[in-house]
Structure 1
């Protein structure tokens, strides 16, 4: 079924050079980017195998050691759609996050908060025929980082969305409704329009929660158009 093409509004996404986010000053490009034409093989591959996903990949509470992770148990669910709200089926979603104390399982994370021996902070799933997905995890904690003397990141989950091939990738972050650090987080504030940040905030969804087990948050992802989710990377044509 045909539908109108809606051009990408690049002002909606965070600019690469945002001096209030200190490390963007040294990492952002200083010269105009070059557009390099891709070959057919680069666009269509390499592809990922659906059978490579295990039964616990979407369950971050248990997928590291089998024992339950420590923290507030939550469900994150939603749909991945195109600019005309048609479902995107078979998309690979990968997520990574800090633990309940705000620490990543990474060699370069020196935050003094403890590691959870049963939590890796990584998971993945495929979208269904209706574009839907569900992940079980622990609500991540806030953490400090070296931007200025008292910079803190509000609780968030990183999302990577792949299309049919691994070269088709978009990256974003999900925040939580009611976070008191929203207006203080230097990275979240790189978005030029407050409405764009609203698109990254997942509201509490009690209708999808599991009684006596987990709260739920809904995070819908739109790949293009006027309803588009803001992305950290914006490859041409994606």
Structure 2
């Protein structure tokens, strides 16, 4: 069945221009945005299947070299739904993050924390028939960035969610319950409603933890509607 989408609450998402987050000043558009019609190929493909994924794609602890990465072993799981609570099956989730010391495996990351030779920092998985996903990783560390003299990013994991088409890609970040940097992180603080930021914070889920192995956090994602998960690339409209 199909129906009109629920109206997005524009107060729920951060404005493109947030001067306290320094780089948004140069990045934010200065002219009204244009809506461009998508082609059929953009809205109907590709189709993702488990056959395209490797056996360790959702295991960031082992998928870089096969040897275990260093850090707090962590399971992240959750469910992807639409605005009515219906599961979104077959969605491709891609994740990337810093290592346990707060450093990315990226040529432009010059933070003095060492690289972990066994941690690549990225992975992917598909949602199942009921919209559930799971992956294993190490908890990322906080790191400084040049927003002002002593600005820090709290621990986070980046999420990319693909729907049924190439243009249906949404990007967000997941934070961890109890992080002391929550109220100091300039990027997190661009979100105007504290309740919206709450939706990006994954609570500890001891029921899903692996005894003597890994803690678990649950991060549920809502793709549309009035209480949609805040997405970085959906700041402009409905």
| 1:50 Cα deviation from its structure 2 partner | 3.8
Specify the alignment match of 2:178 in structure 1. 178
| Alpha-carbon separation, structure 1, partners of 2:235 and 2:35 | 10
Specify the alignment match of 2:56 in structure 1. 56
Specify the alignment match of 1:80 in structure 2. 80
| Alpha-carbon separation, structure 2, partners of 1:42 and 1:237 | 19
**CA-to-partner distance for each residue in 1:40-93, whole Å, 9 max, x for gaps?**
222113444542210000000000000000000000000000001100000000
Is residue 217 from structure 1 mapped to residue 223 from structure 2 by the alignment? no
Scaled by the length of structure 1, the TM-score of the pair is 0.96
Shift in CA distance, 23/237, structure 1 to aligned 2, threshold 3 Å: closer
Decide whether the 8 Å contact of 2:77 with 2:217 is kept in 1.
yes
Range that drifts further, 50-59 or 103-112: 50-59
Gaps of 5+ in 2: none
| 1:164 Cα deviation from its structure 2 partner | 1.3
**CA-to-partner distance for each residue in 1:137-176, whole Å, 9 max, x for gaps?**
0000000000000000000000000001222100000000
| Alpha-carbon separation, structure 1, partners of 2:39 and 2:68 | 45
| Alpha-carbon separation, structure 2, partners of 1:34 and 1:229 | 23
| Alpha-carbon separation, structure 1, partners of 2:11 and 2:192 | 7
Scaled by the length of structure 2, the TM-score of the pair is 0.96
- Equivalent pairs counted in the alignment come to 238
| Alpha-carbon separation, structure 2, partners of 1:2 and 1:24 | 36
Decide whether the 8 Å contact of 2:43 with 2:164 is kept in 1.
no
Decide whether the 8 Å contact of 1:6 with 1:226 is kept in 2.
yes
Specify the alignment match of 2:17 in structure 1. 17
Shift in CA distance, 14/102, structure 1 to aligned 2, threshold 3 Å: same
Alignment of 1:158-173 (within 5 A): 158-173=158-173
Specify the alignment match of 1:102 in structure 2. 102
Specify the alignment match of 2:44 in structure 1. 44
Range that drifts further, 76-85 or 30-39: 30-39
Decide whether the 8 Å contact of 1:175 with 1:202 is kept in 2.
yes
Range that drifts further, 224-233 or 141-150: 224-233
| 1:127 Cα deviation from its structure 2 partner | 0.2
Shift in CA distance, 159/33, structure 1 to aligned 2, threshold 3 Å: same
Gaps of 5+ in 1: none
CA RMSD, 1 decimal: 1.6
Specify the alignment match of 1:127 in structure 2. 127
Range that drifts further, 5-14 or 97-106: 5-14
